[in-house]
Structure formats: structure tokens, C-alpha cells
Amino acid sequence: MADEISRTIAVDAMGSDRGPEAVVEGIKIALGNSDGKLSVTLTGRSEELEPLLKKHGLSNDERVSVMHCSEVIGMDEKPIKSIKQKRDSSLVRAVELVKLGACHAAVSCGNTGSLMACGTIKLRQMAGVERPALASVWPSREQHFVMLDVGANPTTKPEHHVHNAILGSHFCRLTLGRDKPRVGLLSIGTEESKGHELIQSSNEKLRSIGDLINYVGPIEGFDVFENKVDVVLCDGFTGNVLLKTCEALFKAFRSIMKDEVKRNPVRMAGALLMRGAFKDVKHRLDPDRYCGAPLLGLQGNVIKAHGSASANAIAAAVRIAGEFIEYDMTRHAAEDISKANALLASVKNVPVAEPVEE
């Protein structure tokens, strides 16, 4: 476990769609909820950040510092091009602070592609991991679960699923407190004979690593929200499409409900009586509780928050970053990845990702 005193987090202050004030507000909330052992370095334009820190009473807080950056990466910029051309951007500097050891995690609401590219290039993958994965916590009918990959790697290989199963299991233990997270591979049916070649091969390799994960086999879409698994595995293309589809569906359902409730006074009166239930449902589905989506599989902690994240959501992302540091996520996951690769290598004709040299 990491030294509690050294929980220093770099936060990209310029990446939010809501502007730097939402980030500063989030930092204030995070510091207020911490045990006093948390410190934050904000990367961004100091001329914009200093007045905001003063406004929110953080100017003289020893736990907060500012690294001035002259550039900002926009949401529509190309990942590789943006990090090469804007080396003094708030996003790049936040990740570099982790690389240099000055901070132990980086949090950003900025361009997802740029953050993934920067994290991969600057921090490099864990030994034996070929591609990092973006994980997300989702609500289900009874409890929350982890899904990965939701966008980092659209062209998944079977061994990527194995690595993601281990990474996702560790993340689930850390964030959701599950001792033996149940892992399922998203397919078109629960029968092991179903699915294309990637699913078939991935299923075999997931079973071959034994007790390193609690693998329950293939699952289908009907199972995702039914508390049958704690970790859902899929390729980054499918995960990203599913993530955005579910977000849009939730917004559409909420809008439909409001329209129907307002149709007549009787329904409006009934809605008032149901106000407590609606409030509880909103809390259960609140995306701010688990806003931070970690980029797993790197030699450092990088947390992606939504571009439109509220101050509370940014505070949650900072909290998750602190938990990663406390748990020493990178070391624990790397040990199991090494064991899994050794087991895969013992199976005939199973390709294993080579360690990445620094």
C-alpha cells in the first residue's frame, strides 16, 4: 500500500466542458472530504486559475498548487497530433507529472483520445500488457458493475480480454468492494458454441488461467443489468457504442417520463406522492458517484472524467484516483498479469504479449 502522505494528484484544470471553475469547485469538495493526506497540482493557465482559487478560498491552501501551462487541447483535436503539437498543454503536463514521480495519479475531463495516447506514450504499458483498456462503472438492477473496454482499444485480441479480466477484477475489488468479482464475456448467447472467432478463442483463454479470475463464461445482453456478473468484458468498439446508447436511452426515458407526468393534474399529483421514490432512483443511477473511468494497464494511474462532469463528479474522480494510489493498483494487477501470461504461454499456439521496454 502506498504511503498515505504521498497521495498527490495532478488535475487537468482546462479540460472540462464547464470550464476551469467546475474543476476548482470539484477540488474543493475532494479536499473537504479527504483525510488531510491529499494534495493536488492543477495544470492550466495560471491567470485563469489563480482568481478561481481565491474565489473558492483555496489560494493559501498548502495542499493546492498550480503548474502554469500555455496550451489547451480541444475536444475535436486528433490525439497523436495534439500531444505532439501542444507539449505545454494542461493534459500533457498532468500526465508528465505522473511520469516524473511528482504526482501519483492524473485526472482529466479533456479529450479522451488525447489522454489515452498521452498516457500510453508517456507512461507505457505494464509488462506483458499490449493495449490499455478504459473501464467504467455502471448501475444495474441490484448493484453496480464494471465494464471494459469502453473505448480505448476497438480491435481487441483474445489475450487482451484475458488482461482486461484481471485489470477489471482488481478495479472492481477496489471500487465496488467485491472479494471475488464474477467475470463475464459479452456475446450473443450464453452457450459457449455461440459467438465469432474472437469470442470463441477469448472464452478458451479466459478459462485457461484458472483461479486468477472468477470467470463465469459468456453472457448476453439480457444478463448485463441482472446482477449475474461484476465485470463485463467486451471490445472497445462494442463497449463504447453500448455506453453511449445506454446514456442516450436513459436521457430519452427521463424525458418521456416528464412529458407523460405533465399530461394531466392527476398524474402530477401522483408524481408528488412518488417524489421520494424518484429521488432514490436518481441517486442509484447518478453517474457522478463513479465518474472516474481509469485507463487500466499502464505503469501509472490515469483517470478520465466526463467532459461535462459536475463539480461533484470531478471530486469523485479525484477520490477514485486516491484509492488507486492507496491500493497500489499497478503493482497488484501487474503481478497477476505476469502469472496469466505464464499460463497462456504453457498452452500450445497461444500468443502472449511481450513486455514493453521503457
For 37-58, the pLDDT digits (tens) are 899 999 999 999 999 999 999 9
Q: What is the mean pLDDT of residues 81-100?
A: 96
| pLDDT at residue 82, as a whole number | 95
Other CB atoms within 10 A of residue 335 CB = 13
pLDDT at 306 over 70: yes
| pLDDT at residue 290, as a whole number | 58
pLDDT band at 256 (very low <50, low <70, confident <90, very high): confident
Torsions phi, psi of 19, nearest 5?
Answer: 90, 170
Torsions phi, psi of 113, nearest 5?
Answer: -60, -40
Query: Distance (Å, rounded) from C-alpha 310 to C-alpha 41?
Result: 19
| pLDDT at residue 287, as a whole number | 59
Alpha helices in 76-141 (DSSP H): 79-85, 90-100, 112-123
Comparing 1-124+298-327 with 136-289+328-358, is the CATH topology the same? yes
pLDDT band at 352 (very low <50, low <70, confident <90, very high): very low
Q: Which of the following CATH numbers is that of domain 1-124+298-327: 1.20.1070.10, 3.40.50.11540, 2.40.128.20, 3.40.718.10?
A: 3.40.718.10
Query: Distance (Å, rounded) from C-alpha 213 to C-alpha 290?
Result: 23
pLDDT band at 331 (very low <50, low <70, confident <90, very high): confident
Query: Do 309 and 20 form a contact (C-beta atoms < 8 A)?
Result: no
pLDDT at 1 over 50: no
Q: Which of 123-127, 133-137, 324-328 has the lowest mean pLDDT?
A: 324-328
pLDDT at 163 over 90: yes
| pLDDT at residue 356, as a whole number | 46
CA proximity to 171, closest of 318, 339, 321, 309:
321
Q: What is the mean pLDDT of residues 9-17?
A: 94
Q: What is the mean pLDDT of residues 219-240?
A: 92
Domain range summary for the chain, segments of one domain joined by +: 1-124+298-327, 136-289+328-358
| pLDDT at residue 358, as a whole number | 42
Alpha helices in the chain (DSSP H): 20-33, 46-55, 79-85, 90-100, 112-123, 158-176, 197-208, 236-261, 265-273, 275-284, 311-327, 329-345
pLDDT at 73 over 80: yes
Q: What residue type is 20 in one-letter code?
A: P
Q: Greater confidence, 153 or 163? A: 163
Q: To which H or E segment does residue 138 belong?
A: strand 133-139
CATH 3.40.718.10 fits 136-289+328-358, yes or no: yes
Query: Do 208 and 343 form a contact (C-beta atoms < 8 A)?
Result: yes
Q: What residue type is 22 in one-letter code?
A: A
Q: What is the mean pLDDT of residues 255-262?
A: 81
Integer distance in angstroms from the first to the last C-alpha of the chain?
24
Q: Is 149 exposed, middle or buried (0-12, 13-18, 19+ CB in 10 A)?
A: buried
pLDDT at 263 over 90: no
Give one word for 242, left, alpha or beta, with left for phi > 0 and alpha for psi -120 to 50.
Answer: alpha
| pLDDT at residue 5, as a whole number | 45
Torsions phi, psi of 356, nearest 5?
Answer: -90, 125
The distance of Cα 342 from the centroid of its chain, to the nearest Å, equals: 27
pTM for the model stands at 0.85
Cell of 97: 507529472
Three-class DSSP category at 54: helix
In the numeric block, the cell 471530486 is attached to: 315
Give one word for 183, left, alpha or beta, with left for phi > 0 and alpha for psi -120 to 50.
Answer: beta
pLDDT band at 166 (very low <50, low <70, confident <90, very high): very high
| pLDDT at residue 300, as a whole number | 92
